[in-house]
Amino acid sequence: MRPSKQVLETAEAIDRGFRGGAYTPALQTEKEKHKPWYALFLTTLTATAAGGEIIWAQMQYRKTDNEAFFTVLTADIVIVAHAEAVHLDEPLVTVRAFGRKSLAAIEVHTDQAINDTSSAALAWPGNVRVAANYWTPENEVVVFVASDKASDASKEAPVLRLLAELAKDLNS
């Protein structure tokens, strides 16, 4: 069976969140849209998301360590993944998913003052860093970190939607 249109749209939303439309050597080559390991990884994440709306997807890549950290937040679950040795054809990839209701705490840091009247204030709230702490069934706290910079003054910064979703989880 071929993937449905909804499945392909979910995979595209995850990929767009990770790469933001930019060329990312860790995930693709100049000849291939996706490295083989990354294509399989996207399949795993898309299947794990189970058709849920993708609210947030982000990758943090550490070139010096050749590793990447991935976070996907859907309407119902959080998926965190870690890929070691992404420069190899078959990196070691770990994927974990858990319910959003297991959120224990969030930490938020911004760099834009509410009373800033400069042109930079048009991109409020500026650089935002969010750390979310979750309790898993093993009572281990898993943290994902999201960072984003508001860049289009005519649109709400995507990280504000993430914060609204996380605030709902804290209150559930």
**pLDDT, tens digit (0-9, with 9 covering 90-100), for 45-102:** 999 998 889 999 988 877 778 788 889 999 999 999 888 877 767 778 889 998 998 9
| Whether 83 and 122 share a structural domain | no
| Whether 84 and 14 share a structural domain | yes
Burial zone of 89 (CB within 10 Å; 0-12 exposed, 13-18 middle, 19+ buried): exposed
The identity of residue 31, as a single letter, is K
Question: Residue 162: which region, alpha, beta or left (left: phi > 0; alpha: psi -120 to 50)?
Answer: alpha
| Whether 119 and 139 share a structural domain | yes
**pLDDT, tens digit (0-9, with 9 covering 90-100), for 7-47:** 888 888 888 888 775 567 777 777 878 888 888 888 999 99
Domain count, the chain: 2
* Token pair 């093993």: residue: 138
Tell how far CA 171 is from the center of its chain: 22
| Whether 94 and 107 share a structural domain | no
Range of the domain at 121: 102-170
**pLDDT, tens digit (0-9, with 9 covering 90-100), for 111-153:** 877 777 765 556 777 788 898 998 877 777 777 777 776 666 6
- Reported for 31-39, long-range contacts at CB under 8 A and 24+ positions apart, including other chains, are 35/89, 36/89, 37/83, 37/86, 37/89, 37/90, 37/91, 37/93
141 CB contacts (<8 Å, ≥6 apart)? 104, 133, 134, 135
Q: How far apart are CA 132 and CA 106, in angstroms?
A: 4
| Whether 108 and 57 share a structural domain | no
Threshold 0.95, pTM exceeds: no
| Whether 89 and 11 share a structural domain | yes
| Whether 151 and 95 share a structural domain | no
| Whether 164 and 81 share a structural domain | no
| Whether 108 and 121 share a structural domain | yes
pLDDT at 38: 85
| Whether 88 and 121 share a structural domain | no
